[in-house]
Amino acid sequence: MPLKVYKASAGSGKTFTLAREYILMLLKDEGRMSHRRILGVTFTLKATAEMKERIIDSLFALSTHSESKYREWLSSALGMSGDQVDRRAGECLNDILQDYSFFSISTIDSFFQRIVRSFAHELGWSGTYNIELDEDAVRERAIDDMLFDISAPEHQDLLQWVTQFMLHRIDNGDKWNPKKAIQAISKQLDNSHVSQILADTDNILHDK
């Protein structure tokens, strides 16, 4: 099927159009369980629920010969009569309801979590891992772990760096809070100022 791009503002009927395209692909695939070969991806859980509800409701309306805004368009796009569209919609609806866990419409982050979990063994990860989407929470835990082990013999260089960095802040009259200071540096690293930060840090260490 060729690539189709729809550009639309909020409230302009995107869900209606996307649900219609999903149903078109569903009915066009003549095999059973065709929903297993279609992936829908949304941005939010609310949009996911709305998409699923719209598709199920539309298939039900078609299969029961009720009024539907999709029937005429689908009939023309598929080259089928209205009765054929309704019959095929009923088959697809029955397949989805009996195999609902494979009705794949999910958020982008949920989709990628499924992909990563599929390769957890190959990546050498435990199957009980969690994916954390809160960058600040991950950063805070990483810094806590680093500071907890910083006195270990193998971390002497890191301890020296943190000590000199904090002494530099004290000399400049800055607040003495190593955790917050390191968090600020890590955020700047994320913001693509790596070269300048590393250069400034190197200068601090050499000055000391």
Considering Cα of 108, then 26, then 91, then 57, what sign does the dihedral take?
positive
Q: Which residue has the tokens 């539907």?
A: 68
Residues of the chain with CATH 3.40.50.300: 14-118
Cα(201)–Cα(184) distance, integer angstroms = 13
- Looking at per-residue pLDDT, the higher value among 97 and 196 belongs to 97
Model confidence pLDDT, tens digit, residues 102-118: 999 998 888 888 888 88
Neighbour-count burial of 129, counting CB atoms closer than 10 A to its CB (0-12 exposed, 13-18 middle, 19+ buried): exposed
Confidence band of 130 (pLDDT split at 50, 70, 90): low
CB 101 within 8 A of CB 114: no
Helix (H), strand (E) at residue 42: strand 40-42
How confident is residue 205, by pLDDT bands cut at 50, 70 and 90? very low
pLDDT given for residue 142 in this prediction = 83
CATH of 14-118, one of 3.30.70.1530, 3.40.309.10, 3.40.50.300, 3.50.50.60: 3.40.50.300
Cα angle at 63 between 59 and 67, to 5 degrees? 80
The pLDDT-based confidence of 84 (bands split at 50, 70, 90) is very high
